[in-house]
Amino acid sequence: MSAAPVALAGEPKIDLALAHAHGLTDDEFRHIEKLLGRTPTFFMIFGFDAGQPATLGAICASISDLPAPWREKARAMGFGFALALMSSSAILLALPWPPLALLTLGALAFAGGMLTGLGRWAIPLGMQTLIPMVFVLGLPKQSIASVPRVEALLALGGLAYIAFSLVATIVTDGSARRLVASESIREFSIYLRAVAAIFNPDADLEAAYGAAIRQQAALAEQLQLARPLLLGHAQNGSERFRLAASIGVLLDAFDALVAAQCDLALIRASRAATPMLRQIGTTLSVGAADLDHLSLELLATRRPTLPPDHHVQIEALWREALRLDDAGAEDPKTTPALKTAARRLILALEHIRRLEQVLSHDSDATASIGDVDLAAFIPRRSYSLAVLKQHLTKSSPVLRFSARLALAMMAGSLIARFLGDSGHGNWVLLTIAVVMRANYGLTRQRRDDRVVGTLVGCVAAAGAVAWLPPPALVATQGLAVAVLQSFVRLNYRLASAAASVTALVSLHLAQPSLPAPVLARLADTLIGAAIAHLFSYVWPHWEFSEAPNIVRRLQARLAAFAEVALRPAAGDQEYRLARKNMIEALAALSDSAGRMSIEPMATRRGLDEMAALLIAAHALVAKLSAARLDAKTGAAKPDAAVGEALSALLSPGGSQAQPNAPAPRSALEDAARAVTSAAETFQRAAREEME
């Protein structure tokens, strides 16, 4: 029997939940209502039996609702939701024939895995092939004749959500851009604290370097996310233009911070440098706190300001640097290096002060950007499935992941059937779908987060289902979606708890006459996590297989960066592009090392050598950034021939190809040779252990 439509008092709860998911103010929500007309709750129109598929459609559409310009978001959400409708239709049509349903399940899982070959941005598209298929398995059994009706309701819900999301994106465009810029500033403040730890004389230098490199990778990922939102269609004189300029200022400060780390081992070895190092740590920590203040103020106002005493610590560092003149005779080697480091750190802090000016004044933003073409820095997405052809090889990690995912989903379906309760299947499959990733390390991490998050979410959902009336459950469902969307990138454990609440409440609303099977769902989660873990060992692609390619790519990017950084005629745009590519390549190797470190011990091949390479590469980048910075501030410009020689030396195989390199032995060449040697040592270690 169909449930009667439920009239909700006041504003429809799911409408408000969707509004809160997008961070809308009351005024912005009223404006959207005027543009769209009233957005009625699906349950008020169709009742619970018909309203639940529409709500599931909205949830499925929300999977690819990530920060992006509205045109790009429309493209991604439209493409992803089309995949969702195709996968849910296919599985519903195949359900009457179990063998066909099993094969369809495997084929759709394989297709979802292959979609990740389009790039990291396409992971939500792969999930939109899997999650809707799993959700419809939780609906009451459907006849073939009822499939079009169910799909129409799914489409209605999804399209309504997409329309709401796009209008919300347009209305809140300025707020969204400020949020992304604020997050970028916050990530930079965390990086500033990591750099402060490097200068701490009591900290282990290698461990501090490792932490700074990992945070540098996190900063690179955040900037990659911010570029499409901040750099696209940025017109001079607009708030968007000022926010776009903030990225360049942050990277200028990054350059100065990295350059300040030249000769750091020499500086830390001197006892006379300890007071100065402690002052540097204090100054950088205060600078990080100022950035935190600026990031929060940017959320509240379009023209944020730094604390009025921001300059105090800069002046204190200047005074400490001047006192070094008296110590120069006692430590003639360390003092000049320490003074140079202090000067570069002060420059980085001045860039932070300039960040305030760029965010507040159009003239400063214009001067900061200059003649740089911002569009050149926006990552391009390709939806062409022809891109996937390159992954149809046995060595491709994408193909191997797709095969593992398909086999795991099919195994989960078979095991769920043997459990005897049709409700088990979708929970087991849901866990497999959200836990399995292309490599073991991420799968293991998500497995742990998923199990803990599911435990918390199931307890919360059990209480909600037991005590809350249907209208409140609808609001709970919307709130859980909002939490899921907000934290899916920041805290997967919390997002997993929200996902469990969403799924459990959604399934209860689909079949409200059945009791909430909380304990059974916990068991299903453990089964699904175990299946995902076990299938991580099926046709695996361990990190050591891909790491050599990442190392070669890093060498190539370092070679290009060295050539540009040491070429006097290189313009700002060319240098910034080379720097961007280098930072992303270094971040990719750091991420690879992180994934390898949580793989089984027997597969950690060349991990120590990879860590040594990261430190050597970071040291080289510091010297190259310093050379570029010194040239811009009036020092002698480097010889372009030196840059070309270093570029040849850094290229993969460069040590063999350049036995008589023309560049004189210098600190730069020594650093470049250290990178080449570390890369060769890693490649040799990986090759020997593979053999």
Please report which confidence band the pLDDT of residue 656 belongs to, taking 50, 70 and 90 as the band edges. low
- At 206-261, the pLDDT tens digits run 889 889 999 999 999 899 989 988 888 777 667 888 999 999 999 999 999 999 99
Considering the domain architecture, whether residues 485 and 443 belong to the same structural domain is answered as yes
> Quick one: CA torsion of 502, 505, 510, 513, rounded to 10 degrees?
170
Query: Has residue 481 got a pLDDT over 50?
Result: yes
Report the pLDDT value the prediction gives residue 49, as an integer from 0 to 100.
55
> What is the rounded CA–CA span in Å between residue 617 and residue 555?
9
CA angle 474, 478, 480 (to 5 degrees): 115
Least Cα distance to 78 among 4, 20, 155, 10 occurs for: 155
- Sole residue written with tokens 């149809």: 392
> Quick one: CA torsion of 603, 607, 609, 615, rounded to 10 degrees?
160
Of 92-106, 330-344, 660-674, the range with the highest mean pLDDT is 92-106
Q: Is 226 inside a domain boundary?
A: yes
Considering the domain architecture, whether residues 601 and 515 belong to the same structural domain is answered as no
> What is the rounded CA–CA span in Å between residue 128 and residue 124?
6
* Of 497, 517, 535, the domain-final residue: 535
3-state secondary structure of 71: helix
- The answer to whether the beta carbons of residues 137 and 90 sit under 8 Å apart is no
Query: Has residue 662 got a pLDDT over 50?
Result: no
- Residue-averaged pLDDT of the chain: 82
Considering the domain architecture, whether residues 218 and 75 belong to the same structural domain is answered as no
Question: How many Cβ atoms are within 10 Å of 53's Cβ, its own excluded?
Answer: 26
Residue type, 91: I
Question: How many Cβ atoms are within 10 Å of 55's Cβ, its own excluded?
Answer: 28
For residues 127-136, give the mean pLDDT. 90
Query: Has residue 668 got a pLDDT over 60?
Result: yes
- At 173-192, the pLDDT tens digits run 888 889 899 999 999 999 99
Q: Is 629 inside a domain boundary?
A: yes
- pLDDT > 90: percent of the chain: 32
Cα 579 to its chain centre, rounded Å, is 19
Both tokens assigned to 198: 């490097």
Among the listed ranges 221-235, 304-318, 383-397, 552-566, which one has the minimum average pLDDT value?
Answer: 304-318
3-state secondary structure of 408: helix
Cα 63 to its chain centre, rounded Å, is 15
Report the pLDDT value the prediction gives residue 688, as an integer from 0 to 100.
66
Considering the domain architecture, whether residues 206 and 126 belong to the same structural domain is answered as no
Report the pLDDT value the prediction gives residue 514, as an integer from 0 to 100.
63
Among the listed ranges 185-199, 280-294, 500-514, 538-552, which one has the minimum average pLDDT value?
Answer: 500-514
- At 89-102, the pLDDT tens digits run 999 999 889 899 99
Report the pLDDT value the prediction gives residue 44, as an integer from 0 to 100.
46
Helix (DSSP H) and strand (DSSP E) numbers for the chain:
27, 0
Phi first, then psi, for residue 379 (nearest 5°) are -65, 140
- The answer to whether the beta carbons of residues 283 and 316 sit under 8 Å apart is yes
Considering the domain architecture, whether residues 201 and 298 belong to the same structural domain is answered as yes
Domain count, the chain: 3
Report the pLDDT value the prediction gives residue 525, as an integer from 0 to 100.
81
CA angle 588, 594, 600 (to 5 degrees): 130
Q: Is 382 inside a domain boundary?
A: no
Please report which confidence band the pLDDT of residue 425 belongs to, taking 50, 70 and 90 as the band edges. low
- The answer to whether the beta carbons of residues 186 and 587 sit under 8 Å apart is no
Residue type, 462: A
- Class of residue 144 by CB neighbours under 10 A (exposed 0-12, middle 13-18, buried 19+): exposed
* Of 483, 508, 535, the domain-final residue: 535
Report the pLDDT value the prediction gives residue 36, as an integer from 0 to 100.
40
For residues 387-403, give the mean pLDDT. 92
Among the listed ranges 98-102, 473-477, 572-576, which one has the minimum average pLDDT value?
Answer: 473-477
Query: Has residue 74 got a pLDDT over 90?
Result: yes
Question: How many Cβ atoms are within 10 Å of 382's Cβ, its own excluded?
Answer: 10
> What is the rounded CA–CA span in Å between residue 56 and residue 73?
20
> What is the rounded CA–CA span in Å between residue 342 and residue 278?
12
If one compares 664 and 262, the residue with the highest pLDDT of the two is: 262
Considering the domain architecture, whether residues 485 and 353 belong to the same structural domain is answered as no
Considering the domain architecture, whether residues 215 and 166 belong to the same structural domain is answered as no
Considering the domain architecture, whether residues 210 and 358 belong to the same structural domain is answered as yes
Q: Is 341 inside a domain boundary?
A: yes
Indicate if the alpha-carbon torsion angle 547, 492, 599, 416 is positive or negative. Answer: negative
Considering the domain architecture, whether residues 210 and 356 belong to the same structural domain is answered as yes
- Class of residue 545 by CB neighbours under 10 A (exposed 0-12, middle 13-18, buried 19+): middle
Considering the domain architecture, whether residues 223 and 244 belong to the same structural domain is answered as yes
Domain CATH code at residue 251: 1.20.58
For residues 551-577, give the mean pLDDT. 91
Query: Taking the CA of residue 171 as centre, how many other CA atoms within 13 Å lie in the half-sphere pointing to its CB?
Result: 22
Taking CA atoms, 639 is separated from 258, 644, 679, in Å, by 22, 9, 26
Question: How many Cβ atoms are within 10 Å of 631's Cβ, its own excluded?
Answer: 15
Question: How many Cβ atoms are within 10 Å of 37's Cβ, its own excluded?
Answer: 8
Q: Is 86 inside a domain boundary?
A: yes
CA angle 351, 352, 355 (to 5 degrees): 85
* Of 535, 552, 578, the domain-final residue: 535
Considering the domain architecture, whether residues 97 and 130 belong to the same structural domain is answered as yes
Q: pTM score, two decimals?
A: 0.83
Considering the domain architecture, whether residues 481 and 601 belong to the same structural domain is answered as no
Report the pLDDT value the prediction gives residue 115, as an integer from 0 to 100.
95
Q: Which domain holds residue 94?
A: 13-170+399-535
> What is the rounded CA–CA span in Å between residue 361 and residue 373?
20
- The answer to whether the beta carbons of residues 215 and 587 sit under 8 Å apart is no
Q: Is 1 inside a domain boundary?
A: no
Among the listed ranges 284-288, 309-313, 488-492, which one has the minimum average pLDDT value?
Answer: 309-313
Query: Has residue 422 got a pLDDT over 70?
Result: no
Q: Is 282 inside a domain boundary?
A: yes
- The answer to whether the beta carbons of residues 380 and 87 sit under 8 Å apart is no
Report the pLDDT value the prediction gives residue 198, as an integer from 0 to 100.
92
Q: Is 500 inside a domain boundary?
A: yes
Please report which confidence band the pLDDT of residue 475 belongs to, taking 50, 70 and 90 as the band edges. confident
- Sole residue written with tokens 């030396």: 649
Both tokens assigned to 302: 């379009």
